[in-house]
Amino acid sequence: MLKLEMHTVGLIALTTCLLIGLSEADEWEFPEDFKFGVATSAYQIEGGWDADGKSVSVWDRITHTTPNFVQDGSNGDIACDSYHKWEEDVTMLKDLGVHYYRFSLAWTRILSGGYTSTVNEAGVAYYNKLIDKLLENGIEPVVTLYHWDMPQKISTLGGVTNNVWVDIFTNYARTAFERFGDRVKTWITFNEPNIICHYFHSVLGSLQPDYPNGVIEYLCTYNLLKAHAETYHIYDREFRHKQEGKVGITLNFEWSEPASDSPEDVAAAERRRQFDFGLFANPIINFDFPKVVVDRVAERSKLEDFPRSRLPQFTFAEKLNVKGTYDFLGLNHYTTWLVSDDEEPSLDQSGFYIDTKVARQQDPAWEKTAVDDNRVVPWGLRKALNWIKTTYGNPDIFITECGHSDLTASLNDDRRTNFYKTYLNATLEAILEDGVKVKAFMAWSLMDNFEWNKGYLVKFGIYRVNFTDPERPRTIKDSGTYYKEVISTRRI
């Protein structure tokens, strides 16, 4: 009798476990409103660098005048030739089953004069064809206005650091809203302002040989944020009522994990997050530059004998104007660092990274990729998403880039497949277990392309592109087939 009871209890327990297990498995899928996509950018894929009235961008110029700026001496003159092969790109997107295609507009195709108002109709026609074809196939365009290919004419004026930048940029943004906003409902003003102001501005502004210097960098940050905010307000005033779209910005964020439990390292990791992400997100979402950054740049500027902080101050009116200028937050995420407090760096250098006063390293056990420092650390994405949730009041987050690089372009790219598996799982944990409002995931990238100063050596594509063939044929990789499966089943 007792034996039988035990047996029954056991059976009930087993059934319950199975049921719970099953229902948990059932729920381990992406919510209904979650969208999948892939991302690219104009200079990295289009080619057609001087086609149909396009003017010269900073990337055209630097690659033509300083070929060794790019590791393999290459350039984006032809790249994936998407300027001609856009229909095939849409076929690939359709086959993957993506909801979103994130691409960027080449400013130099649309306003070839850079800062003039004369529109180059041929350039507009190219994007019209692409956008229409996407929509015909049920794919929503997610459009980045500025993904680093600044018109050379504007760079010559000092680029983002010139006071006229806000007018120049918003003139371009308004043109894009006018021409494409009837069909484009998701806009990203800037891709990775952090990289624009602290890294590529140097070479591309080309006015500052001693860049980075901690002055230009923050002037760029300040002007860029004002241009972002003004673009948002223009959309609000002139377009939102008829176009009903969303405007956001894409920030890159590598997770900073304290290297130890010491209060100094914990503070250092938080400080680094505020320098990397808060510098842009805090004025837009909360208010003003983050206090820890304001204080630290002031302190270091004083040590360097500057009469005042190198970080410009927003006026109160500007703070109000920048605050709230987002409908969603775009996040590009690739890797994670272990961060510790550093000694005060020597005073004969000056710059953003010196201001952070941190040392960073990565655990050698973390899997490497083709980009030296982009080690695979999926839990870092989950932590980054949670930090954004708590620091900024749980905004809607679009992961606008996340991806894995190799050198081989092999179709059997198991490591990339595993990367997507684990990073998508981290995303799902953040959504289902932590309540982070992640609304989309866009893989970087649709296809192998021009990886900036690494040229064609480093491959991020879920499609391979054969760059030695003038036809630039594309072939899906195993990771592409895997992603397609995830999209159709909504499961990992």
Residues with catalytic roles: 192, 401
CB of 298 to ligand PNW, least distance (A): 26
Among the listed residues 265, 401, 406, 413, the single contact to ligand PNW using CB under 6 A: 401
Q: Of 219 and 442, which has the nearer Cβ to ligand PNW?
A: 442
Among the listed residues 444, 456, 463, 467, the single contact to ligand PNW using CB under 6 A: 444
The H-or-E segment that residue 443 falls in is strand 438-444
- Compose the 331-370 pattern: x for residues touching ligand PNW by CB under 6 A, - for all others: -x--------------------------------------
Q: Of 190 and 314, which has the nearer Cβ to ligand PNW?
A: 190
CB of 91 to ligand PNW, least distance (A): 23
**CA 78 to chain CA centroid, nearest Å:** 23
Q: Of 428 and 443, which has the nearer Cβ to ligand PNW?
A: 443
Site for ligand PNW in 451-490 (CB under 6 A): 451, 460
- Compose the 44-83 pattern: x for residues touching ligand PNW by CB under 6 A, - for all others: x---------------------------------------
Site for ligand PNW in 181-240 (CB under 6 A): 191-192, 195
**CA 196 to chain CA centroid, nearest Å:** 11
First CA to last CA distance, the chain = 46
CB of 192 to ligand PNW, least distance (A): 5
370, 479, 456: which is closest to 80 by C-alpha? 456
Beta bridge partners of 101: 38, 141
Among the listed residues 38, 41, 79, 446, the single contact to ligand PNW using CB under 6 A: 41
- Ordered alpha helix ranges (H), 152-262: 152-156, 165-180, 193-195, 201-205, 216-234, 240-243
| Beta carbons within 8 Å of 473's beta carbon, 6+ residues apart | 465, 466
**Phi, psi values for residue 358, rounded to 5°:** -130, 160
Three-state helix/strand/coil letters over 337-388: EEEEECCCCCCCCCCHHHHHCEEEECCCCCECCCCCCCCECHHHHHHHHHHH
Burial class (CB in 10 A: 0-12, 13-18, 19+), 242: exposed
Q: Of 38 and 124, which has the nearer Cβ to ligand PNW?
A: 38
The upper half-sphere exposure of residue 169, i.e. CA atoms within 13 Å in the direction of its Cβ, equals 28
Q: Of 181 and 193, which has the nearer Cβ to ligand PNW?
A: 193
CB of 262 to ligand PNW, least distance (A): 26
86, 41, 85, 43: which is closest to 64 by C-alpha? 43
The H-or-E segment that residue 271 falls in is helix 263-273
| Calpha distance 472→316 (Å, rounded) | 52
Q: How many residues touch ligand PNW (CB under 6 A)?
A: 11
Q: Of 72 and 178, which has the nearer Cβ to ligand PNW?
A: 72
CB of 113 to ligand PNW, least distance (A): 25
Among the listed residues 108, 186, 252, 282, the single contact to ligand PNW using CB under 6 A: 252
Q: Of 103 and 444, which has the nearer Cβ to ligand PNW?
A: 444
Residue closest to ligand PNW (Cβ): 252
| Calpha distance 96→92 (Å, rounded) | 6
Burial class (CB in 10 A: 0-12, 13-18, 19+), 2: exposed
CB of 314 to ligand PNW, least distance (A): 26
CB of 451 to ligand PNW, least distance (A): 5
- Compose the 109-148 pattern: x for residues touching ligand PNW by CB under 6 A, - for all others: ----------------------------------------
CB of 419 to ligand PNW, least distance (A): 13
- Ordered alpha helix ranges (H), 39-120: 42-45, 58-65, 82-96, 107-110
Q: Of 186 and 191, which has the nearer Cβ to ligand PNW?
A: 191
323, 440, 336: which is closest to 393 by C-alpha? 323
* Contacts to ligand PNW by CB under 6 A: 41, 44, 191-192, 195, 252, 332, 401, 444, 451, 460
